Structure 1
Amino acid sequence: MFVRTERLGLRRFTIADAEAFAAYRSDPEVARYQSWEAPVGRDEARRLVEAFAHGDPAAPGWFQYAIDLDGVLIGDLGLNLHDNLMQAELGFTVAPAFQGRGYATEAVRGLLDHLFDDWELHRVSAECDARNTASARLLERVGFHREGLRVANSWFKGEWTDDLLFGLLRTDYVN
């Protein structure tokens, strides 16, 4: 485990996660505001999970943390560590059956604690589709500040979308 919270573990993916990963990432509502298209086939899920399993969380670029609840994969957190190793971008996905129970908030807080306390990152940023009010509320709940709105900024899944920008400095984070 990289991070342990009261109910969750943030860990490296294993090949055993492929089926659960494919299931929640294949849900059209889960994929609606995300970069992938649903459904996610088993072969694709296996390839992705295998690649995630070999990633290095301390290296620049994207790393996917598996969100584990009592040995069950319930979602994932993506962290894009900047080349300077002092800032990162965050993203998150939780399976529908586990939404609305505070797991995403707990997982994001756990990762932020790790990033700010253990790694001493200076800043973490996030962005989301402006229509994704649940994600925006989660980011604000854990302390992110809304820093901007880019109107009709992204051509995404066949339409122009607005992007909300969020940021959080280590000096402003309250854990």
Structure 2
Amino acid sequence: MYPQTSRLRLRRFRPDDAPALAAYRSDPAVARYQGWSAPVSPEAAAQLVERFAAGDPGEPGWFQYAVELTSTGELIGDIGVRLHDNLMQAELGFTLSRTHQGRGYAAEAVTALLERLFAEQGLHRVSAECDARNTASARLLERVGFHLEGRRPAHSWIKGEWTDDLLYGLLAADWERCHPVVRPDGE
């Protein structure tokens, strides 16, 4: 079962998601702090969707969740999770269409996914990093419980310039203090 809230559903990508993915990933404001460059062609989006749909969220490596509105089924973004080989830790990243930013959707989707990662998959730690100039993403990570663990000055070469990276982490124990988990086995 994929995470769901009253407003959002996280699910596997489908072929018909390609046009929406191409649209929001082609927005220069959305792509600004990301590893891809806008525009994203319809062909490239179709290939991405095919690759995303083939992933397995329980296996090591990246899995990309589609984020859709439950009310309309509209694809509004995606969240990637890279599960480590040890199956006890992961990294995450998120992208939301500009027209849906500022409404709490990203925090809601990330929170629902963290609940799944900690409560259902039993992860010990989730980490994230972001461009230090991306203050909205940094605030979101802190709002959902991540702790700033460090800053790597001029660490990433993105779009023709060196950027600082902010490193965030969240331990299962810290998550559970703020979000009590009811495990299926009763522990």
The interval holding the TM-score normalised by the smaller chain is over 0.9
Deviation digits for residues 79-122 of structure 1 (CA, Å, limit 9, x no counterpart): 00000000000000000110000000000000000000001100
Matches within 5 A, 1:1-175: 2-70=2-70, 71-173=73-175, 174-175=178-179
| TM-score normalised to structure 1 length | 0.98
Secondary structure of the residue aligned to 1:138 is helix
> What is the SS of the residue equivalent to 1:44?
helix
Distance 1:49 1:160 in 2: 29
Opposite residue 56 of structure 2, the aligned amino acid is D
Structure 1 equivalent of residue 183 of structure 2? none
> In structure 2, how many angstroms separate the alpha carbons of the residues matched to 1:104 and 1:11?
15
Rounded to whole Å, the distance in 2 between the matches of 1:84 and 1:48 is 26
Aligned equivalents of 2:61, 2:19: Cα separation in 1? 25
Instruction: Return the alpha-carbon distance in structure 2 between the equivalents of residues 69 and 44 of structure 1.
Output: 24
**Per-residue deviation, 1:155:** 1.3
Q: Larger C-alpha radius of gyration, 1 or 2?
A: 2
Distance in structure 2 (CA, Å) of the matches to 1:6 and 1:27: 27
Task: Specify every segment of 5 or more residues in structure 2 that has no aligned partner in the other structure, as ranges.
Answer: 180-187
Secondary structure in 2 matching 1:4: coil
Counterpart of 1:56 in 2: which secondary structure? coil
Give the ranges of 4+ consecutive aligned residues of structure 1 lying more than 4 Å apart after TM superposition. none
Count how many residue pairs are aligned between Structure 1 and Structure 2.
175
Describe the SS at the equivalent of 1:137.
helix
Percent identity at matched positions? 69
Pick which of 152-161 and 121-130 moved more. Answer: 152-161
Task: Say which SS state the counterpart of residue 29 (structure 1) adopts.
Answer: helix
TM-score by length of 2: 0.92
Partner Cα separation in structure 2 for residue 35 and residue 61 of structure 1: 17
Give me the CA root mean square deviation. 0.7
Measured in 1, the distance between the counterparts of 2:52 and 2:156 equals 26
Shift of 1:6: 2.0
> What is the distance in 2 between the residues matched to 1:46 and 1:98?
22
Shift of 1:31: 0.4
